[in-house]
Chain A
């Protein structure tokens, strides 16, 4: 008996991933009239149940560090918004011998926008013209002027505070008013003024005024836990709801994309995904595809989408998928400031992150290294947490009332500094498919190859020297574990640790050396777009999320335009 072949539902667009890139695309595409289906590998998010906003450490039996204290000194403690982790059980990744790389992933609606630092910096004009400026790396196929209107749209919609400063390395945006500085920030700002280092209000995606139906920040310093009032930006709370409101949006959670399936004509037709709940493979069909799974996860999906037409992976005729992988250069140090011992108890919380920061300030001269870095800093009288008194105990030793009083006198007197610098892509840093390992869904996993070059090491050295001069100028005692030698010279973090990994499907005008055109559209397959940070050509010293959203917004408008012309 003949089987009844039902033609599957075909959506206009399938988006893979629900984070900064996917969420932005969902909003723009559905509001533009297209039907969209989104695949998210994690579960739905339920702020009421999932967020630990305003919970005290003593309200959790493990005080925030989890079973057996496993999250002591780790980013993903019990307070952080759910399902962001360095390691996911059953979904490994590997590092090639001699390489150190860490990969922070989120399996949840909203992805890493639930966990990010909310730092929202525009790239500068020079960041798009790297090769023309110093001969290294490549230029983008687009200019700042082409992206700027999309920065405007994103900032106006999500809300970013900041101030107009006219600093060439840090273009101004459309800003809400900034919160006033904390004591620690006032002190550091004075030192920076003496040293001629720019120290200005930071630019963060946190509302200091109500905007587009969201309440203003209530200054509890806990953005990383998730915000029940949605006063900070997350894709889950700010991008997905308006897409849902159109009635043209379908969200499939627990859906781990395995492969983009290509038809005989060489166009993508469907995504094959694992339905995690049933461990079965399913397909979803669409006319166009937006890969927005995060730079490395998107590269993995393309590389795993092999077919007779595309034996090296989809959109990979250039061989550039997985290549040009970069992360920010990170190095940290701190200071003890005796004058802070005199601070009376007061509310020092503020927004969840820094109120001030130091954009790159030496753009007008020749330095020991190419490109630049910015400085983030924070400290003072925050909510005490497990591990906060380790150093103080180590210093003071002993026991009894004197130890107890010493800890109190030192509370709130430390400020930490972190540099975030530009890495230039090199041929030793990339990811590929590990030939020997699959995850629990049977999908081959990524293998990372990583090497810093001298330019980044010199930058880390410069960061340490700058931190020292700021701390000492501010009247503090410099504290750093960084050493010039060893695996992490000058305290340079391992690859991936700053969680700004990008570049693995870069855009360009030449299909032989790039994966995407300037609209984030694959050179090889014109109904596939990659709109996350995989598309980036450079990794300047600016946190990538704002630019991810601007590029995804821009690519989505391009796709809408194509659809109107009948190009879907």
Chain B
């Protein structure tokens, strides 16, 4: 452990000296640079470990958030869903810090439960899967609000939650893998475009 952290510091120091403070600019070996990149990344990743405790949503509401996120981007044969990707944590964290999000998402979640109580006599989480699907089908499309203005708050809430869920999923490790992004690495030369018809 000690050896590792010393060698890490040494490499980082070498880079810093070479680039910043040193009297001589030196060539930095490719491997050292790559190693340092991973070290910096690992160090940054290490802060904020541990199980997530919701900061804004109460436990019942947080479970509803998780269920909605997973409905928006579910697990399938290709990858896990928004829940596995940490989207609910991301959304809860940002919401806890932003009064506008608290209004949109906190309020929206209350709206959803109230609407489910009206329709099915149960909050969203306790509804049968068919009922959950029915209400989501209503608030997931803006054209429904044109027909029934009573749904417009729900539609607005869901549109925002959909964007936030997409943010949380597609910036996660599994989401990035699902998209097939290749990069954020160290190349000695850039290969250009692989041959593809029409491109």
Contacts and interface: CB of A to CB of B under 8 A. Distances in A.
Q: Which 10 residue pairs across A and B have the least CB separation, nearest first?
A: A180-B192, A213-B25, A68-B98, A345-B180, A68-B97, A183-B193, A57-B171, A245-B23, A349-B183, A389-B166
Interface in B137-180: 140-142, 158-159, 162-163, 166-173, 175-176, 178-180
Interface stretch (A58-66, A418-426, A509-517, A537-545): A58-66
A219 B141 CA distance: 41
Contacts of B172: 57-58
B45 to A, nearest CB: 4
Interface stretch (A80-88, A400-408, A479-487): A400-408
A399 B36 contact: no
Contacts of B40: 48, 51-55, 228
Interface of B: 12-13, 15-16, 18-28, 30, 33-34, 36-38, 40-41, 44-45, 48, 71-74, 76, 86, 90, 93-94, 97-98, 101, 136, 140-142, 158-159, 162-163, 166-173, 175-176, 178-194, 196-199
Interface stretch (A234-242, A289-297, A441-449, A548-556): A234-242
A220 B20 contact: no
Given A48-B15, A56-B173, A58-B171, A241 B74 contact: no
Given A340-B199, A389-B170, A181 B179 contact: no
A343 interface: yes
Which size bracket describes the interface of A in this complex? 35 or more
A350 interface: yes
A250 interface: no
Contacts of A245: 22-24
Contact of B33 (A64, A228, A240): A228
A384 interface: yes
Nearest to B188: A218
Given A181-B193, A228-B37, A58 B23 contact: no
A132 interface: no
Contacts of B21: 241, 244
A63 B30 contact: no
Contacts of A195: none
B183 A241 contact: no
A339 B198 contact: yes
A326 to B, nearest CB: 34
B180 A59 contact: no
Contact of B178 (A62, A185, A408): A408
A351 interface: yes
Interface string A142-155: 00000000000000
A69 B179 contact: no
Contact of A350 (B18, B27, B97, B190): B190
Given A219-B190, A220-B187, 5 more contacts: A55-B44, A349-B184, A351-B190, A385-B171, A393-B162
A182 B73 contact: no
Nearest to B25: A213
A388 interface: yes
A397 B41 contact: no
A63 B190 CA distance: 27
Given A59-B44, A345-B181, A400-B71, A241 B196 contact: no
Interface of A: 45-48, 51-65, 67-70, 179-183, 185-187, 210, 212-215, 218-222, 228-230, 236-237, 240-242, 244-245, 339-340, 342-351, 381-390, 392-394, 397-401, 403-404, 407-408, 411-412, 475
B135 to A, nearest CB: 11
Nearest to B13: A48
B25 to A, nearest CB: 3
A401 B76 contact: yes
Contact of A67 (B22, B86, B97): B97
Contacts of B19: 47, 228-230, 237, 241
A218 B183 CA distance: 11
A400 B72 contact: yes
7 contacts: A55-B44, A56-B176, A240-B20, A342-B198, A348-B182, A398-B141, A411-B181
A225 B190 CA distance: 19
A115 to B, nearest CB: 17
A151 B96 CA distance: 51
A210 B171 CA distance: 33
Given A46-B16, A241-B19, A407-B166, A55 B41 contact: yes
Contact of A347 (B41, B76, B170, B182): B182
A401 B74 CA distance: 6
A174 to B, nearest CB: 19
Contacts of B45: 55, 59
Contact of B196 (A47, A60, A343, A387): A343
Given A62-B93, A339-B198, A399-B72, A384 B170 contact: yes
B101 A68 contact: yes
A475 B21 CA distance: 50
Q: Which of A242, A244, A397 has the most CB of B within 10 A?
A: A397
A384 B97 contact: no
Nearest to B175: A384
Given A58-B171, A386-B167, A399-B71, A347 B12 contact: no
Contacts of A400: 71-72, 74
A219 B136 CA distance: 43
A228 to B, nearest CB: 6
B12 A342 contact: no
A355 to B, nearest CB: 8
Q: Which of A180, A229, A340 has the most CB of B within 10 A?
A: A229
Contacts of A342: 196-199
Nearest to A54: B37
A54 B184 contact: yes
A394 B184 CA distance: 28
B168 A63 contact: yes
A229 B194 CA distance: 28
Nearest to A411: B179
Given A63-B171, A244-B21, A344-B194, A397 B37 contact: no
B94 A68 contact: yes
